[in-house]
């Protein structure tokens, strides 16, 4: 038998790694959605050991040898395999930067901290979780310093690279500073115009969770979700997990307000459609993974914000919602629901924020997490800094930590460097949706019929099926003809909130 090439050996090794990561993804979903609280310690041990096994497989000295041999023969590989090799090298560099004891310690610390957060958030008790968060922050900073040396990047950019490959905090800060400068004027203009229009009327509840879930399932199917390959459950913080062939979505419902719950479901469905559409022939290989979190967030925000808050889609939603909840009257008409879904009202909670004020929440978190990682801000100072910066950006300050620094899971779960991808994703979503509609002008009208087939087909071809074959920028250029252009996002906001009837 011919000895397999170094590249073939790498594919075999990464397939095993991919299977381990799939198992961890399902275990993590279960811990957030189904696991009884008494199982937390055992689950933490399971995840720690699986993380250690994955780290050992990737940092095996043989992998470094295979990478060198495969890279020396890269000209013999096709485009997909060369891209796979590039992503293997990137994963190996990240992994070998960290000793095994740090990988295990991080997994244990983040699992414990996340569990405490789930108790501290509803109790509005930041002090309860702060020591555990400090441990996560210290370990994350240690990991960032090691990755900084390995990647030749700044401390924060080394952490950012885990979620946004080759992302630059300097470039992000430049874009965000411009947004922060322009946002008050735009927000003021939108609020002024909104004040001259009839206030939306909220349909009267209660809206039973079971009924909301039934409507959510109907909308997910309309968008294109296949329940043979996934499920919808509830959790403290909505997220999408699982694996491409078994996508696990979670949301949270409010029986007094069905609006936010439904849009949260549609947001997560966008993530799920991306996972389902990743190239099947490259399952469990790095090139078959999603291309960074700004692209991932673009897919959720494209479905939720660009498509499902459009007047066309709301026209499809209105009679469904009315019949599902047994409502009647003008508050159930499409025009009123459209005003509800495009209502701009600065609020404390990021996941419930309107499209215009949402970027301020991300700018806030980007600035705070960068300061925390770089040692310019302490956790003792975090609640005060949060209130001060939100006041400057949106003119409001959270009345308590539950609606301030306790509201998001990300830092407690160890995801430092993740937050900028949300607004980068919103900008990318606007650009992709505009390009899809330019190519297929019939898309808005189809959304009004609950038909996402043309839009989803375009996204499959230009984004989902490409996996990590291209960089984020190259993917966007190939799909839209230009790199990320923030003016397209701003034009979308002005058109929807200042020009549309």
pTM of this prediction? 0.91
Q: Of 23, 165, 184, whose CA–CA distance to 94 is shortest?
A: 165
In a shared domain, residues 90 and 190: no
| Closest alpha carbon to 469 in 285, 302, 298 | 285
- Residues in a beta bridge with 344: none
Say if residue 392's pLDDT is above 80: yes
Domain boundary pick from 135, 160, 185: 160
Same domain, 145 and 182: no
Res 48: pLDDT: 86
Active site residue 388: no
Any domain includes 313: yes
Residue 185 has pLDDT above 60, yes or no: yes
SS3 240: strand
In a domain, 314, yes or no: yes
Residues 156 and 104 in one domain: yes
Q: Of 132, 160, 188, at which residue does a domain stop?
A: 160
Q: What is the DSSP string of 422-484?
A: HHHHHHHHHHHHHHHHHH-TTHHHHHTTT--HHHHHHHHHHTGGGTTSS-HHHHHHHHHSSS-
pLDDT score for 500: 77
pLDDT digit string (tens) for 20-68? 999 999 999 999 889 998 998 899 899 989 988 999 999 999 999 999 9
Average pLDDT, integer, range 169-185: 92
Does one domain contain both 144 and 225?
no
What pLDDT, on the 0 to 100 scale, is given for residue 100? 87
Residues 190 and 325 placed together within one structural domain of the fold:
yes
416 occurs within a structural domain: yes
What is the mean pLDDT of the segment spanning 471-475? 95
Per-residue confidence (pLDDT) for residue 44, from 0 to 100 = 87
Residue ending a domain, choose from 160, 183, 207 = 160
Q: Which of 268, 297, 312, 355 is catalytic?
A: 268
- Does 443 lie in the same domain as 350? yes
Q: Tens digit of pLDDT for each residue in 319-348?
A: 999 999 999 999 999 999 999 999 999 999
Please indicate, yes or no, whether residues 350 and 221 belong to a single structural domain of this protein: yes
Given a cut of 60, whether residue 207 has pLDDT beyond it is yes
- pLDDT at position 237 is 76
The mean pLDDT of the chain is 94
DSSP summary character for residue 348: S
Take residue 80 and report the two structure tokens written for it.
């997909």
Instruction: Report the pLDDT value the prediction gives residue 3, as an integer from 0 to 100.
Output: 66
State percent of the chain over pLDDT 70. Answer: 99
Whether residue 353 sits in one domain with residue 249: yes
CATH number at residue 323: 1.10.1370.30
- Is residue 307 in a domain? yes
Would 1 be classed as within a structural domain? Answer: no
Note down the domain range covering 201.
169-499
Q: Where are the beta strands (DSSP E) in 172-266?
A: 230-234, 240-243, 246-251
Note whether 411 and 435 are same-domain residues.
yes
pLDDT band (50, 70, 90) for residue 351: confident
Number of domains in the chain: 2
The mean pLDDT value for 429-438 works out to: 98
Report, as an integer, the average pLDDT of 225-243.
Answer: 91
Is 62 within a domain?
yes
Name residue, tokens 């397999």.
4
175 with 148, same domain: the answer is no
154 with 175, same domain: the answer is no
**Alpha carbon 274 to chain centroid distance?**
11
Q: What is the pLDDT of residue 1?
A: 38
Q: How confident is the model over 271-315, as pLDDT tens digits?
A: 999 999 999 999 999 999 999 999 999 999 999 999 999 999 999
The answer to whether residues 23 and 97 belong to one domain is yes
- The CA distance from 159 to 144, in Å, is 6
pLDDT at 194 over 60: yes
pLDDT of residue 501: 55
Q: Residues 46, 49, 50, CA angle at the centre, nearest 5°? A: 85
Chain segment 111-155, per-residue pLDDT in tens: 899 999 999 999 999 999 999 999 999 999 999 999 999 999 999
Answer whether residue 220 is part of any domain: yes
Query: How far is Cα 293 from Cα 297, in angstroms, rounded to an integer?
Result: 6
Is 308 inside a domain boundary? yes
280 contacts 310 by C-beta, under 8 angstroms: no
d(CA 159, CA 414): 10
């Amino acid at each position: 038998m011919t000895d397999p090439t170094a590249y073939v050996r790498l594919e075999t090794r990464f397939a095993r790694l991919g299977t381990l990561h799939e198992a961890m993804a399902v275990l993590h979903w279960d811990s957030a959605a189904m696991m009884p609280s008494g199982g937390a310690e055992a689950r933490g041990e399971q995840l720690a050991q699986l993380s250690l096994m994955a780290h050992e497989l990737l940092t095996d000295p043989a992998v470094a040898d295979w990478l060198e041999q495969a890279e020396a023969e890269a000209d013999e590989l096709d485009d997909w395999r060369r891209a796979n090799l590039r992503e293997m090298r990137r994963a190996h560099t990240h992994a070998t930067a960290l000793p095994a004891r740090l990988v295990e310690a991080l997994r244990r610390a983040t699992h414990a901290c996340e569990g405490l957060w789930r108790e501290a958030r509803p109790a509005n008790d930041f002090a309860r979780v702060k020591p555990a968060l400090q441990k996560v922050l210290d370990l994350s900073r240690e990991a960032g310093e090691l990755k900084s040396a390995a990647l030749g990047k700044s401390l924060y950019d080394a952490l950012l690279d885990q979620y946004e490959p080759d992302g630059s905090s300097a470039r992000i800060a430049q874009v965000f500073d411009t947004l922060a400068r322009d946002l008050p004027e735009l927000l003021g203009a939108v609020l002024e115009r909104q004040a001259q229009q009839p206030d939306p009327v909220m349909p009267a509840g209660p809206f039973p969770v079971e009924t909301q879930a039934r409507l959510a399932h109907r909308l997910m199917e309309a968008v294109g979700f296949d329940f043979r390959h996934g499920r919808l459950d509830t959790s403290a913080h909505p997220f999408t997990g699982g694996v491409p062939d078994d996508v696990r979505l979670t949301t949270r419902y409010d029986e007094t307000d069905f609006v936010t719950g439904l849009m949260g479901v549609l947001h997560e469905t966008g993530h799920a459609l991306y996972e389902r559409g990743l190239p099947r022939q490259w399952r469990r290989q790095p090139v078959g993974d999603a291309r960074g979190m700004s692209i991932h967030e673009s897919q959720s925000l494209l479905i939720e914000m660009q498509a499902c808050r459009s007047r066309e889609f709301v026209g499809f939603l209105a009679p469904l919602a009315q019949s599902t909840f047994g409502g009647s009257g003008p508050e159930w008409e499409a025009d009123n629901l459209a005003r509800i879904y495009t209502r701009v009202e600065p609020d404390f909670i990021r996941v419930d924020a309107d499209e215009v004020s949402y970027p301020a929440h991300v700018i806030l978190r980007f600035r705070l997490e960068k300061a925390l990682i770089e040692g310019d801000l302490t956790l003792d100072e975090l609640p005060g800094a949060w209130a001060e910066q939100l006041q400057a950006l949106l003119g409001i300050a959270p009345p308590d930590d539950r609606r301030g620094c306790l509201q998001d899971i990300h830092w407690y779960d160890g995801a430092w460097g993740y937050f900028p991808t949300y607004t980068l994703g919103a900008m990318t979503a606007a650009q992709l949706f505009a390009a899809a509609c330019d190519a297929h002008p019939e898309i808005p009208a189809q959304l009004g019929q609950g038909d996402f087939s043309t839009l989803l087909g375009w996204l499959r071809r230009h984004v989902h099926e490409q996996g990590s074959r291209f960089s984020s920028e190259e993917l966007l250029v190939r799909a839209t003809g230009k790199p990320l252009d923030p003016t397209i996002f701003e034009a979308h906001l002005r058109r929807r909130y200042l020009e549309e009837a």
